[in-house]
């Protein structure tokens, strides 16, 4: 009997076939949809010339900085609220309110504070990532297995030992799920904010410029690079997660 993993490439293949059908038959105007062959040719030209790598570097740099800032802030407050759960009860409503604000809608606010440069883009993304990490880390501590905590207390473990050897390892799997969500939304927000003024280099800026100049094949080629970039980041994280958090679903 075939396993479902044998069909993991079926959806991408079907999407490419649909793309080819719509573009080559003229069902969608080439003014709006480049053909797969034109897109691949333009992708080859961008990679061969090397001009796309500068955009890729700046986009990755903004993503990494935003992830670092947002993760540090989110973890600090999340662990704080997880440890002092009475404090979490007081601030939970406020956190939920600010978490519900669309991150992209706050971009003009960050432009007012930092100007239209990189700081506003990084700040907007870090803000959103901080809330993801704050909530996931707080709930990872709050929902730690009470039976294991009780058993450790009976065995005479100190509060510090219980936190680092029972609570934190137990919640690390849930915490990594939050970080994976941050890895998914971080690149999306950075690329989206790059489409606005104040960006000299970046994949989002290249997509925006290609749309303005009606370079449809370049726009789709850059979109493919964005997709592969996000896919690569996610795969690297999953590989690390599977190797380092080896006790997930085993405790």
- What residue segments make up the domains of the chain, in order of their start? 33-244
Average pLDDT over residues 1-24: 76
Q: How confident is the model at residue 157 (pLDDT cuts 50, 70, 90)?
A: confident
- Which two three-digit tokens encode residue 96? 């939920």
Report the distance separating Cα 198 and Cα 121, nearest Å.
Answer: 10
Q: Flag whether pLDDT at 116 surpasses 90.
A: no
198 in Cβ contact with 208 (< 8 Å): no
- Alpha carbon distance, N-terminus to C-terminus of the chain: 31
More confident residue, 174 or 40: 40
Residue 42: the pLDDT is 92
Q: Which residue has the tokens 């799997």?
A: 173
Q: Count CB-CB contacts under 10 A for residue 102.
A: 8
Banded pLDDT at 41 (limits 50, 70, 90): very high
Superfamily of domain 33-244: MetI-like (1.10.3720.10)
Q: What is the mean pLDDT of residues 181-197?
A: 87
**% of the chain residues with pLDDT over 70:** 93
Lowest-pLDDT range, 57-66, 125-134, 159-168, 185-194?
A: 159-168
Q: How far is CA 13 from CA 7, 10, 22, 43, 228, in A?
A: 10, 5, 14, 19, 15
Region 139-154: what's the mean pLDDT? 80
Residue 245 neighbours by CB distance under 10 Å: 14
Query: Tokens 């993991």 map to which residue?
Result: 8
With bands split at pLDDT 50, 70 and 90, how would you rate the model's confidence at 179? Answer: confident
Q: In which region does residue 26 sit, left (phi positive, over 0), alpha (psi from -120 to 50) or beta (all else)?
A: left
State the Cα–Cα distance between residues 108 and 100, nearest whole angstrom: 17
The model carries a pTM of 0.83
Residues 6+ apart with CB under 8 A from 237: 179, 180, 183
Q: Is pLDDT above 50 for 1? A: no
Asked if residues 121 and 167 have their Cβ atoms less than 8 Å apart, the reply is no
Nearby residues of 157 by Cβ (< 8 Å), 6 or more positions away:
165, 166
Q: pLDDT for 46-101, tens place per residue?
A: 999 888 999 999 999 999 999 999 999 999 998 898 888 888 888 888 888 888 88
Q: Are 179 and 188 a contacting pair, CB within 8 Å?
A: no
What pLDDT, on the 0 to 100 scale, is given for residue 197?
67
Residue 46 burial class via C-beta count within 10 angstroms: exposed 0-12, middle 13-18, buried 19 and up: buried
Task: Answer yes or no: is pLDDT of 151 > 90.
Answer: no
Q: How do residues 211-225 score in pLDDT, each as one tens digit?
A: 888 889 999 999 999
Q: Which residues contact 47 (CB under 8 A, 6 or more apart)?
A: none
Flag whether pLDDT at 8 surpasses 90: no
């Amino acid at each position: 009997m075939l396993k479902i993993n044998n069909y993991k490439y079926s959806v991408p293949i079907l999407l490419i076939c649909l793309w080819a059908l719509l573009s080559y038959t003229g069902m969608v105007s080439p003014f709006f949809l480049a053909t797969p062959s034109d897109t691949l040719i333009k992708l080859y030209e961008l990679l061969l010339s090397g001009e796309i790598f500068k955009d890729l570097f700046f986009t990755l740099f903004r993503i990494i900085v935003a992830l670092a800032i947002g993760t540090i802030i989110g973890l600090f407050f999340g662990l704080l609220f997880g440890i002092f759960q009475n404090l979490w009860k007081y601030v939970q409503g406020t956190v939920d309110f600010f978490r519900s604000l669309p991150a992209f809608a706050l971009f003009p606010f960050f432009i007012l504070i930092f100007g239209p440069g990189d700081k506003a883009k990084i700040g907007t993304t870090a803000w959103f990532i901080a809330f993801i990490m704050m909530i996931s880390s707080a709930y990872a501590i709050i929902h730690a297995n009470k039976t294991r905590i009780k058993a450790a207390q009976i065995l005479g473990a100190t509060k510090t030992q219980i936190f680092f050897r029972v609570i934190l390892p137990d919640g690390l799997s849930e915490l990594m799920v939050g970080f994976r969500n941050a890895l998914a939304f971080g690149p999306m927000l950075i690329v989206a904010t790059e489409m606005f003024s104040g960006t000299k280099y970046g994949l989002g800026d290249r997509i925006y410029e290609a749309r303005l100049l009606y370079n449809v094949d370049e726009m789709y080629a850059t979109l493919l690079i964005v997709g592969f970039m996000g896919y690569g980041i996610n795969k690297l994280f999953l590989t690390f997660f599977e190797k380092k958090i080896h006790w997930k679903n085993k405790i």
